[in-house]
Structure 1
Amino acid sequence: MTILALYGLSALLILTSLSMFANMITQKLGSLQDPMQIWNALNTLGLLPIRVRAWIFSTIVGLANPYAKTINFRITELRKGRACGVMKETKEVSNPFRCVHAAALVTFGETVGGLALLTLLGKKDRVILTNISAEYVKVSRGLLTASSVVPPIKDRDATEITTYVLVKNASFETVSKLTLTWKVDLSDH
């Protein structure tokens, strides 16, 4: 066996182990109803580099929302009411005009915006996306960053919450603005 083959086999074993680890964490911690619990658990693993933790968390998000994993994103920050992520332009998310496809941008924005909202919900709260509006400001190419900040929920009787997501390119230019409307069922804490 050549040295190159050994490196390839080692990389495959490491990726398989990390994938099994992500599945184990998902089963142990449950669904993404409380993404902060999973995020914080991964961040206690100081042995793993930040990029690996982001990959594991994004893999878990992809397991909970299989459609989201089609865009190959990474969540880079998650705090109460705030989520950020990155997505790189690849052939899989591009349209025939060599830029990121509108559906990929919407999926990316929905994923980041949904995580920001989920960090503010209790275990018995439920949400479902009922409307999404996307404004395409500029052609989206290269590395994209999405961010969403959701203010604390003060009206526990609300039946609808609107959140916003900004997607920017590597030059910090806004390429897309998304408005997400969620139907919510907020239980008493």
Structure 2
Amino acid sequence: MRKFIPQLSSPSAMIQVGWTKLKNIPGGNIIFSSLVSKYIPYTGSISPLVLSIESGQARVLLKDKRAVRNHLNCIHAIALANVGEFSTGLCLISQLPESAMAILTKIEIEYLKKARGDLVSEAIYQYQNAQQENEDHRITANILNTNNEIVSKVHATWRVRRK
């Protein structure tokens, strides 16, 4: 695995280089998702599958399986928050210069309908490289079911700072 993703100085560089190297090879998104899941163990607990990271957009699949379900036989609220946070983070971090880093400072979630079946979390955001020392970016992820209905919205605020 190390030959695909060299040791890099920042998470943004790891995401950008790793995705660029792996996205076009068969099963590359599975390898990338596994590497990120090992790097971020809590996010890895839901086994997200990165579908795409491009042009200020990130799409992540959350497979419906028993491990992410609740007692009501639908996807657990915190699994939804987890995949939403992950997609917003990928969306932002993939655009950051190597001299910047981001940390989540606030998360809000709206539950619009029962989440059943495989879900896709989609975050779209265009990062503007401002000159402020600390800047907040509020990014929304729409979590869609297989009928393309929004089941949840995750609003994540990320603070970007220069190293």
TM-score calculated relative to the size of structure 1: 0.79
- Cα contact 1:80–1:119 (8 A) shared by 2: no
Name the residue aligned to 1:40: 20
Q: Which moved more, 1:63-72 or 1:165-174?
A: 63-72
Superposed CA offset, 1:19-63 (max 9, x none): xx3x5534x243632212111111354xxx2xx111101011112
Name the residue aligned to 1:173: 149
- Cα contact 2:121–2:144 (8 A) shared by 1: yes
2:34 is aligned with what amino acid?
A: T
2:73 is aligned with what amino acid?
A: R
Share of identical aligned residues, percent? 28
- Residue in structure 2 matching 1:128, options 94, 97, 103: 103
Higher relative contact order (CA 8 A, sep 6+): 2
- For residues 19 and 104 of structure 2, the distance between their equivalents in structure 1, rounded to whole angstroms, comes to 22
Superposed CA offset, 1:150-173 (max 9, x none): 113143325211111000000001
More strand by share: 2
Give unpaired runs (5+ residues) of structure 2. Answer: none
**Distance verdict in 2 for CA 1:184–1:152, change over 3 Å:** closer
Q: Which aligned pairs between 1:112-127 and structure 2 lie closer than 5 A? A: 112-127=87-102
- For residues 148 and 66 of structure 1, the distance between their equivalents in structure 2, rounded to whole angstroms, comes to 21
**Distance verdict in 2 for CA 1:44–1:175, change over 3 Å:** closer
- Cα contact 1:32–1:61 (8 A) shared by 2: no
Verify: 1:59 aligned to 2:34, yes or no.
yes
More helix by share: 1
The alignment's C-alpha RMSD in Å is 1.6
Q: Which aligned pairs between 1:93-112 and structure 2 lie closer than 5 A? A: 93-112=68-87
- Residue in structure 2 matching 1:182, options 118, 142, 158: 158
Moved over 6 A (4+): none
Name the residue aligned to 1:16: none
- Cα contact 1:29–1:38 (8 A) shared by 2: no
- For residues 103 and 127 of structure 1, the distance between their equivalents in structure 2, rounded to whole angstroms, comes to 21
Give unpaired runs (5+ residues) of structure 1. Answer: 1-20
Larger Cα-atom Rg: 1
**Distance verdict in 2 for CA 1:43–1:89, change over 3 Å:** closer
Name the residue aligned to 2:138: 162
- For residues 101 and 136 of structure 1, the distance between their equivalents in structure 2, rounded to whole angstroms, comes to 11
